[in-house]
Amino acid sequence: MQLAVNIAVLAAIYALIACGYVLIYRVSRVLNLAHGELMMLAAYLLLSTASMFSGHPVAALAASLVLAIAVGVMVYVFLMRKMTGEQVLAAVLATVALGILLRGVMVLVWSAQQQYPAQALGWVNASLPVPGGARISVAAAALVACTTLVYGSLFAFLRFSRWGIRMRAAGQNPLLAAQRGIGLHGIYALAWALATFTGGIAGMLIALDSGLDQTMVVIGLKAFPAALVGGLDSLLGALLGALVIAAAEVLLIHYVDPLLSDVVPFLVLIAMLVVRPWGLLGTREELDRV
């Protein structure tokens, strides 16, 4: 049972991070290689709001989530919007540069030392029993719950809401969408805001579970294969990809060799690229376009 819980938690981490990659790619065809940094920035923002709203953890969490959304919008308005009309590669390189800048700024503002937002919030990450003799930490349980909630909300938003439908339209054919009166800049800004919001939730919950330091950037990158395996333009695919990679990782750690956990996401990715390059649920047309 503990193995199943471990798979669920790891899959939730990867899925929550991967949906940020998918949201931006699906709408604007840009691979956001600063996603790990934006996720880490949200976690550091939580650290700051925790000290600002001392004794009010809910207010601190809410404030940091609002700030994460604001960061996403600002990244689009002040950086990615300028990339409109440029080659996709230029936009991707802009995200790389943004990542480097953010890493430097975060060290300067919050220093390189290990931080514990949970401690700053005065919150104890207790361990909960799970039926079957397994255990899960409160933060890890929150990760699973948030991932479920985020994906459920995103599916409903994209399928039923006016802005969600506009977002899908802009992703499918931006020119046609613009001609139909859809404001592309608003849609793209929304995609960046949502991606930073979901990545931010992941960053905050990981930091609440096990602390926060500069290595979180790499965790952001580790979720990238999940998005690719699932299909870069499919949210359901990201969920499935995260589950496949998390299961492979946890089972190999337990039954074969823990060292394989580092390479298995990429082994699965290579296998997928050979067999089905557009991913489990990705659109074949996307590959042709690339």
Partner 1 sequence: MKLLQRGRRFALAAALAAGAATGAPAMAQDAYVVGISAALTGPAAATYAPVIDAMRAYADHVNGKGGVNGKPIRLVILDNQGEPSKAAADAKKLLSQDNVILLVNSSLSSTYAPMIAESRRAKVPLLYAGAVCPKETYPPADPLQFCTTSFGAQYDSQLAMGFVKDNAKEPPRIGFSAMAIPISRGEIEFAEELARKMGMGTTSKEIIPPPTPDYTPFATKLKDGGSNWVYSWAPWVTQVRTFEALRRLGWNGRYIAYAHIQAEDELARIKDPELHVFGANAFVRDDLPVHAEIRAATVRANLPYPVTQLTEGFIAGLALEAALKATPWPATPAKVLAAMNNLKVDMKGLRGGPLEWTKDNHFRTRQYYRVYRWDPARNAVVQVKDWTALDVR
Query: Is 159 or 254 the residue whose CB approaches partner 1 more closely?
Result: 254
Measured between alpha carbons, how far is 176 from 260 in angstroms, rounded to an integer? 46
Rounded-to-integer distance, Cα 43 and Cα 46, Å: 5
Residue 288, class by beta-carbon neighbours within 10 Å (0-12 exposed, 13-18 middle, 19+ buried)?
exposed
CB 8 within 8 A of CB 144: yes
In this complex, which beta carbon is closest to partner 1, that of residue 92 or of residue 219? 219
Residues 6+ apart with CB under 8 A from 173: none
Minimum CB–partner distance for residue 213 and partner 1 (Å) = 5
Nearer to partner 1, 127 or 173 (CB): 127
Paired tokens of 98: 């943004």
Taking the complex as a whole, the smallest distance from the CB of residue 17 to partner 1 amounts, in Å, to: 9
Radius of gyration of the chain (CA): 19
Closest approach, Cβ 241 to partner 1, in A, equals 15
For the beta carbon of residue 104, count every other beta carbon within 10 angstroms. 11
Least distance between partner 1 and beta carbon 114 (Å):
5
Binding site residues, partner 1, CB under 8 A: 2-3, 5-6, 9-10, 13-14, 103-104, 107-109, 111-114, 116, 119, 125, 127, 135-137, 140, 206, 209-211, 213-219, 222, 249-250, 253-254, 257-259, 261-262
Spatial contact of 241 and 226, defined as CB atoms under 8 Å apart:
yes
CB of 48 to partner 1, least distance (A): 11
Nearest to partner 1 of 73, 96 (CB atom): 96
Cβ nearer to partner 1, comparing 90 with 112: 112
